Structure 1
Amino acid sequence: MLHKLIHKPTRQVFRKLPSYLELRSNTYYFRYRLPIKVAALINKTEIRFSLRTDSLSEAYSRLHQFIPIVNSIKRFSFQKTLKRNDKPALNRLVKQLSESRFDVMQRETSAYSTPFSEPKATLEAINPMMLFSEIHDQLIDYKIKNKGLTDKMRDSYLRYKNLFLLISGDKAVNLITTRDLKNYLAKVAELPRKNIKPYCSMTWEEITQLEIIPDNDKVAAKTPKEHLKWLQGVFAYLIYQLDYKLENPTKAIRMRIKPNRYGSFDDHEVNSILRNAAGADWQYWLPRLAFFTGARRGELVNLQKKNIKYHPDAQRYYLQITNEGNKKLKTDNALRLVPLSEKLVDQGFIKFVDSVADDECFIFGDVSFVTKHITDWFNHNLLKKSEVKVYDETGHKRVFHSTRHTFVTKAIQANILPQLVQELVGHDKSSGLGITARYTHRFSLKELCKVVDVIDY
């Protein structure tokens, strides 16, 4: 287990009073400030009346009657713009909320027996017995309409939801406990990675029935943390957007994750890997480029013919790592120039680039295909063929990204200025420089050549 779940004991305390509950002269009042857009449309800023009690628990009980109407009003404020034809419905809701004080005076505990449909719908929407799956569907709709949820994130949310329902079942949200969530996260940590065999061809139903998963096949340590973050978002929406009055079961969960530290390769291992790196163009050149440039996988896979250039002053070929054409770079520092080792030129890399038909072409072909296959091929086929162990003698895992670790280690061991190495690999080189970093600019390509020229395996 690469992580540990910590449970903090919780005390039974009241949550901070919401903005629509206040205490005046030992009496609790309902006070709701209307959203700015709503207030501007109906020319009314707030609603306030006495709950006719000095008991906080009784105030909560009476306050609960008004939450459906409050939520109906709040939903109007989620719209980007309010239209004039929204005004009648808002006026009805505000009138109904204002007249709710008579329910308090008559001590009626039932909710609203009015002909208006909006509060009734909202009352159903925040039924305390509502299932987790139903709340989650509402959350996705809310995020799509108001937060610009991307298709990719929506698909991730749905995967998390389906896995949660498979492992924990679909419960009423008020019955989900901290222990339930901790058990779920513990099971997530024991799952295998879905992008390796044989799990890639199995359903989650089949996977969850497996009794033993080898440690090397299990998900990364950060995966349970991502699931916890998702659960925190679900319950934050439940409590702060839908005004559920319940203790947040994610609040007492803390996760300590041992960060992944990849190993590096020894020289004889690098030479064995390069001897066996053969096949398609990407299978031959990507390992070589990675070991001799220290560039990230995505940066290399996204190279176009126009990104390989010649610098007349330095008299060297170089790679232009850019974000043009919707390419995604990890950080701003990743935007850089990387000189090519003469060893790559001697092996024919420039001749290979010249054979690519058009300047706009990606030199390794279909980016999606190569991105999908390079890591699995390198980690499971090439290393095995090269008789290189996945874990080094200190227990650090070696993967494609370890080529980057190997490059940096080589450069530092050769006593190269750390700032030169940092710029070449796209790291922040301002650490420890304070305000001086503001006056520090990029090194020339000629200076960066000092790094690649010491790399030899």
Structure 2
Amino acid sequence: MKSPHISLKQLFAELTDYSWADSLQEHERDLQNESNATTMFEVMGDDIRDSLKNGGGKYEPSEYGLKTLPPAEIEPRRDFEQLALTLSEAMIERIWNGRSETFDSLYHKAKEQSEVDTVVAKPYLLSEAWADFRVYKSSWSHKVATQNTRYYKIMIEFFGDIDVTFVNRQMIKALLSRYQDFPRGNIKPYNKMSIKEIMAIDENEIADSDKIVTKSVKTFMGVFQGFFSTFLTKEKDIFLTAPTDNVIYEVKSPSYASFSDTQIKKLKNKAIKLDGWRQWTILLAIFTGARRGDIVGLTGDSLRLDDDTQRYYLWIESGKTDAATRPIPLHKDLIELGFVEFAQQCDSHLFPEIVSNPNRLTYHAQSLMEEQDIPASNDKGQRYTLHSFRHSFITKVQQCGVGTSLFQTVVGHQKTELGISKRYTHDFDVKSLLVVVDSIDDW
């Protein structure tokens, strides 16, 4: 048993004033409106889940305009975060459905969390929940069981074996978006690869003709609904509101959209306010055009100083082609923001938190896009994903008039414009490549 910290009552009082929520207009409550009034609370809930998933202590209530200060000690701080999560869910339900039964349940749950001594609960891991679900679904045929087991393996590879209560609708939408880029199971060489190996491949490196059909994504969504809604919510009472509720995922065009300058600036400014890998991976994606695998694989040795220019650059050690091994000069904004100092403090991987699970970066990027009200796709139906940073970088330097062979070197593409002269042309040095990154001066 443990006694509640005083901050819990203060937070409860601060987040249970529903006069604002009750005064909202109908269009501000519309579930189909991606910018409805629940946006901040959805983002806050996602931030809290991410913090709790990693041990707690990362959620800062002041970033969301809250006045209540969290406890300094880690255990009561986790209690604070759990309460904040319940209260954010209660606020979302109040906005969407008013004083519903679900809202009342959430409200009373939060009241108990803030006032009553509680027993520390053992987490209900995703693997444990799925094992129970399989018992519940013992009537599955062998074919259905095999197919759904594969979906489970994709799910646990993407999320990790986390407490199942941390899964939310943003995470489900992110996984469906990632799954849309999966290869069909009978295509070589993917038919001999593990889920982990397929997940490690950048989405754009899989040919559109090799990717799964729309029906597979819809089938995966059906498994989600059976697992989270029918079983965990209605049967096990793990969730008050299933994370699949109100999830509408439409399969988008296989092509990727480029961000506008305004969108890039919003994402950059948000990333600057973060710390560690959440900050630098996004800033690197913006200012280098590097692939996800390039960024995840960076080590302390990747940062180097060019003798001729005295400019720092990143050395990308290896890739699928010779062109993928290359230098990328650091943009001046990265240097001014302190990336060099950050990298120099790292002995091994710069971002060890995502080395074993690169999909955390994919999910992080999509969460930032949702938080900045960037839609799932542009007017042409092209998707906004982590890979959109690479598209945006290439589009921007082309608009600035940079020679094709120069920017192809920086992003790791095979050079296409040299023709017969290619055999007489050596790789470009860092000095020659500065024009590529320095051409971007208004982001």
TM-score, normalisation: structure 2? 0.46
In our comparison, the structure showing a higher alpha carbon Rg is 1
In proportion to residue count, which structure has more helix?
2
In proportion to residue count, which structure has more strand?
1
TM-score, normalisation: structure 1? 0.45
